[in-house]
Structure 1
Amino acid sequence: MRQVHHGCEVGHAVAELAKQVRVEREHAIVAQQQGPPLSRQMRQMEDELGVELFVRTARGIQLTEAAQSLLHDVPNILELARLARERALRAGKGMLGDLHVGIFGSGVLNVIPKLIGAFHAQRPEVRIRLRNLTKGEQIQALREHRITVGFHRLPPVEPDLAVLLVLREPMYVGMHESHALARQAEVSIRDLERQPMVLYPNTPLAGLAQEVMGAFRREKVQIAVEQEVEDVTTCVGLVCARLGLCITTESGTMLRLPGAVFRPLRSRFLKDIELSCVHRKADHSPVLAAFMEVVRGYAGDADRS
């Protein structure tokens, strides 16, 4: 960038000198101008570029081919420098750059698209890339700088990661529309005793599946786990196939698969579950700061509603 800046200055100075000594455009011959200041300025420009720009003759001062080429390129160089400066200023304000987002199952069905859409409306020139990753994969990707932010539930406490609670989502019971419990306005944990349950996600880190089993245990209700799957789409798909019932979040109810219906869950110990945004504490990029401003605004609205 510094070389470009010097090139722009020299090119601009050549153009100004050419005007001062009244370059004859057709022959590229300039009139003699007396005085050391002009000569010193010419020599300084030549030293800066490392090429001869002026030829002193008995007739005056003639521009070399290098000088003529520089004069031809000056408008383009100056415009490119202006654009580069403008882009640098916009990038410094978070208006340009890349935002890599780690997402997961049900979160992408409701809240996350709203956040990304709001951010894109404010900063349409920022390139947004989504990556579907589990909680553990997101944490690793953050530390390896492969993603900028991640969204998941029940994030573990990590010294190098910052966590912002986005909202707490209410819980629902999913079942086939032909199931007897579908006739109820709401379903309790007690209603689910010995009912075949499909749990997700089946990952080693604490998540919704562990929260569901914990709620059954605390309410002293026996849970009958029929299957454990990786994501909400597979889970609701099995519910549609009448292979069991499931407990999911409000986001999960956005999956309107044929035959699936959802009823609010009534439980003393599992009323809702958090959705959080996670990023590196040491990341001070303008794009991240701008995105987190959008997330905090949404979280504040969710608290007030």
Structure 2
Amino acid sequence: MVSRLKAVKYIIQAQLIAFTYMNLRQMQYFVTLAEELHFGRAAERLGMTQPPLSQQIQALEEHLGVTLFIRSKRSVSLSPTAAQWLPEVRRVLAEVEALKPLARRLAAGECGTLSLAFVSTADYNLLPRVLHDYTSRYPQVQVDLREATSDVQIEALMERRIDAGMIIPPRTALPPCLSYLPLFEEPLIVAVPQQWQDSGRIDRGQQQIDIASLMDEPLICFPQESAPALHEMIRDYFSRQGLTPRQGQQAIQMQTIVSLVSAGMGMALVPASLRNLQRTGVLYLQLQGAVPTLETGLAWNQQRISPALQRLIESVTPLAADQPN
């Protein structure tokens, strides 16, 4: 029963395609005859004989229920209806003709749409560089940007709701259907309230700090479920030094975390590129000793690679080559 339904569906689709093609062809015949106003010359231009052309024009008139050409033994002229219909038919045929190069551009990834998600940290390092390069090469591709944590992006990639995502890779392996390309690596630094310097808590002009000297201050960070890789990296950093930070506020966006630091609610370990976020009331200091580094890369579903996505992958691949082994 199912196979019969499928067969009927394919037959109907084939008939619709044939019907559409026939009407487009008939409209081309109509325009040619309207320009020549002579069946013989029109047939010659179309590479056919006169009788089939006459039959097609008659079929078109019957289908429309209107007279398009006024015929006599000596002449052919446009009916008043056809004279007004002609510009519209030319417009439709021009639009249909434009579909051919559009299809080629879509297949080449030169136009279309691309949905790209990104973690908030990428907004200050990787994302601007990638977007500038990609949109410069493919300005006709519409990029749909969505900010999301890595866990949300991985789920969206699995369900094919986005084309690609800039994620902080989890320490566990990604699902088999996902591919990942590391693109950017940077050290963590500590963001502290400006008021700590004003009050003498931190020396004025200080560039580096021993994290152990700040253990009496709350640590603001991402929730573990939203950014497990970053959360574990920070936890391991303290653990290797035998330190246990005080738990402070949590937030899922880096801008919010920095805002909490600005409000004097604690410190935060953030990527070095967050220096680009010039937030009033925040100081960024380097960490002394061995410093953990944060990696960001591009992930995509191997089962959904559109031409536009393929061009994005090719565009960012040189960034991956620049990363240390």
Partner of 2:52: 40
Q: Deviations over 1:140-161 (max 9, x none)?
A: 2223333221112123511121
5 Å-filtered alignment, 1:149-160, equals 149-155=164-170, 156-160=173-177
Go from structure 1 to structure 2 and tell me whether the alpha carbon gap of 1:75 and 1:230 turns closer, same or farther (over 3 Å shift): closer
Of 101, 106, 125, the match for 1:91: 106
Q: Please state if 1:168 is matched with 2:190.
A: no
d(CA) in 1 for partners of 2:303 and 2:87? 46
| 2:242 match: secondary structure | coil
d(CA) in 1 for partners of 2:253 and 2:35? 71
More deviation, 131-140/219-228: 219-228
Of 210, 213, 221, the match for 1:200: 221
- The answer (yes or no) to whether the contact 2:115–2:144 under 8 Å persists in 1 is yes
TM-score by length of structure 1 reads: 0.80
CA RMSD across the alignment: 3.2
Of 238, 261, 264, the match for 2:260: 238
d(CA) in 1 for partners of 2:32 and 2:124? 61
Q: Deviations over 1:205-253 (max 9, x none)?
A: 5132221111111222232223333322222222223332221101222
- Which one-letter code corresponds to 2:225 in the other structure? P
Go from structure 1 to structure 2 and tell me whether the alpha carbon gap of 1:64 and 1:244 turns closer, same or farther (over 3 Å shift): same
- Matched-pair identity in %: 22
d(CA) in 1 for partners of 2:305 and 2:24? 32
- The answer (yes or no) to whether the contact 1:203–1:230 under 8 Å persists in 2 is no
- The answer (yes or no) to whether the contact 2:38–2:75 under 8 Å persists in 1 is no
Of 13, 24, 36, the match for 2:29: 13
5 Å-filtered alignment, 1:173-184, equals 173-177=190-194, 178=197, 179-180=201-202, 183-184=205-206
Go from structure 1 to structure 2 and tell me whether the alpha carbon gap of 1:63 and 1:212 turns closer, same or farther (over 3 Å shift): same
Partner of 2:299: 278
Of 150, 157, 160, the match for 1:145: 160
| Displacement after TM superposition at 1:278 (Å) | 1.2
Partner of 1:27: none
- Which one-letter code corresponds to 1:12 in the other structure? Q
TM-score by length of structure 2 reads: 0.76
- The answer (yes or no) to whether the contact 1:265–1:271 under 8 Å persists in 2 is no
d(CA) in 2 for partners of 1:185 and 1:60? 93
Of 113, 116, 124, the match for 2:128: 113
| Displacement after TM superposition at 1:272 (Å) | 0.6
d(CA) in 2 for partners of 1:275 and 1:12? 54
Partner of 2:10: none
Partner of 2:308: 287
Go from structure 1 to structure 2 and tell me whether the alpha carbon gap of 1:118 and 1:182 turns closer, same or farther (over 3 Å shift): farther
d(CA) in 1 for partners of 2:256 and 2:84? 65
d(CA) in 2 for partners of 1:301 and 1:244? 35
- The answer (yes or no) to whether the contact 1:201–1:207 under 8 Å persists in 2 is no
Partner of 2:209: 187
Go from structure 1 to structure 2 and tell me whether the alpha carbon gap of 1:267 and 1:276 turns closer, same or farther (over 3 Å shift): farther
Q: Please state if 1:298 is matched with 2:319.
A: yes
Q: How many residues align?
A: 291
Structure 2: unaligned runs, 5 residues or longer: 1-16, 43-47
- Which one-letter code corresponds to 2:146 in the other structure? R
Higher helix proportion (structure 1 or 2): 2
| 1:180 match: secondary structure | coil
